[in-house]
Structure formats: C-alpha cells, structure tokens
Amino acid sequence: MPEGNLQIWAGWQGFSTSKDQKDAGVNITAPDSQFKLGVYHQLDKVLGGHNFVGAKGEFGSNFLQVRGVVEETMAFNNGHTAVDVIGEFRTLRTGTPTVTSNWFFARRPGRHLISGPFRFLVEAGIDHVSPPVG
C-alpha cells in the first residue's frame, strides 16, 4: 500500500546470575530469557489521519505476554479538530503454577484548536483488569 508501512521486529533478552554476587546458602532462581516478536502496520490518509494496528508477543519458559493494539486518528475542520480512538488488549501468563491476568483499555481523546497555541482537550476511556486474585 503506497500510503502505509509495515514494521516487523524481533529480539532476544537474556539474563544471567553471577555466582560471585550471591551469599552462601541463598538460592537465586535465574530469570527467564525472552524472545520478542512484533508486527505493526500504519496506513496514512485514512479519514484525514491514520490507522495503526499492531501485535506483539514476548515468550519465555515461564512467561508469555501477548498484546494487540488498534488506533484510528481522524482530523476534521482543516486539522483544527481531531479525534482518536485507541484500544489495547494484553494478556500475561507467568510463573509456576501459571497465573494469568488480562488488561483491556479503550480511549477516545479529542482536541480542538482554539487559537494560536491554545487547545481544548477532552478524553474519555475505560480500563478493565482481571487479575487472578484481588
């Protein structure tokens, strides 16, 4: 798509525990190394703004986090007024035994240029978290 771009990235995060940095008799569990993969797509010139969609995963032996995000930015009135719609879902599974928590949010910020550097801003949104306990 001539007005869009696709980004794909990958990474690895390794951890180590130095034996000379722990006291005798103390057992330190080595942190989990993680592989990360993300795919993001942005399409410009949609409703006077842009559209952004992405997904990211982080994977380890005792860790899994997956996120999805979508954003739509719209501009009106020759760019003097703009509205964004943003949503994200994230799920996290970690530990032994496995514990899962989920997080979802949706936002709708808006802004209007009054004059010069002055703008009127308003934002409405919701966050929903479902932890395993509490």
Break the chain into its structural domains and give their ranges: 4-11+34-130
**Does 67 score more than 90 pLDDT?**
yes
Give me the phi and psi of 77, to 5 degrees please.
Answer: 55, 50
User: How high is the pLDDT of residue 22?
Assistant: 59
pTM: 0.71
Q: Which two tokens stand for residue 129?
A: 């978290």
Could you read off the pLDDT of 13-45 as tens digits, one per residue?
A: 877 656 556 566 776 666 678 899 999 999 988
**Does 134 score more than 60 pLDDT?**
no
User: How high is the pLDDT of residue 69?
Assistant: 94
Cα three-residue angle 44-75-9, rounded to 5 degrees: 30
Q: Which two tokens stand for residue 29?
A: 């569990």
Lowest-pLDDT range of 77-81, 87-91, 123-127: 77-81
3-state helix vs strand vs coil in the chain, percent to 5: 5, 70, 25
Query: Where does the pLDDT of residue 97 fall: very low under 50, low under 70, confident under 90, or very high at 90 and above?
Result: confident
Q: Which two tokens stand for residue 85?
A: 């719609």
Cα–Cα distances in Å, from 84 out to 1, 45, 50, 79, 122?
A: 22, 14, 10, 13, 11
User: How high is the pLDDT of residue 118?
Assistant: 92
User: How high is the pLDDT of residue 129?
Assistant: 87
Cα–Cα distances in Å, from 28 out to 18, 31, 33, 77?
A: 10, 9, 15, 59
User: How high is the pLDDT of residue 80?
Assistant: 87
**Does 59 score more than 60 pLDDT?**
yes
User: How high is the pLDDT of residue 63?
Assistant: 83
